[in-house]
């Protein structure tokens, strides 16, 4: 169970990081658009940087979430196998 709690903690912290990233990227995008209106080349570069940070940030956090959910699924599968193994054991059988 410790591993499951650890993975669930990582998933929760990563979801919070994604929400913070969305807020920061949104603010940065507004600033980049304002810069694009004021000084077009600088604003376009800023908007490109914001887009790169957004794509890379969400890509990395989404891949971490997928990996940790896969590990949770694997733990569930192993728990089900362990329960099935114990249910099929007859009295007097040696542990496997």
At 33-87, the pLDDT tens digits run: 999 998 888 989 999 999 999 999 999 999 999 999 999 999 988 888 888 887 7
Is 92 within a domain?
Answer: no
Is 28 within a domain?
Answer: yes
Is 67 within a domain?
Answer: yes
Is 40 within a domain?
Answer: yes
Q: In terms of Cα–Cα distance, which of 4, 15, 5, 1 is closest to 58?
A: 15
For the chain, the domain total comes to: 1
Which position has the higher pLDDT, 93 or 11?
Answer: 11
The pair of structure tokens assigned to 36 is 């694009």
In which domain, by residue range, is 71 found? 2-86
Is 96 within a domain?
Answer: no
Is 76 within a domain?
Answer: yes
What is the SS3 assignment for 27-76? HHHHHHHHHHHHCHHHHHHHHHHHHHHHHHHHHHHHHHHHHHHHHHHHHH
Looking at the whole model, is its pTM more than 0.75? no
Is 91 within a domain?
Answer: no
């Amino acid at each position: 169970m410790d591993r499951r709690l650890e993975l669930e903690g990582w998933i929760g912290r990563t979801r919070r990081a994604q929400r913070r990233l969305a807020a920061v990227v949104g603010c940065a995008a507004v600033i980049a658009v304002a810069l694009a209106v004021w000084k077009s080349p600088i604003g376009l570069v800023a908007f490109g940087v914001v887009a790169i940070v957004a794509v890379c940030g969400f890509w990395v956090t989404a891949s971490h979430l997928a990996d940790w959910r896969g590990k949770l699924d694997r733990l569930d599968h192993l728990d089900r196998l362990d329960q099935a193994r114990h249910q099929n054991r007859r009295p007097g059988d040696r542990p496997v």
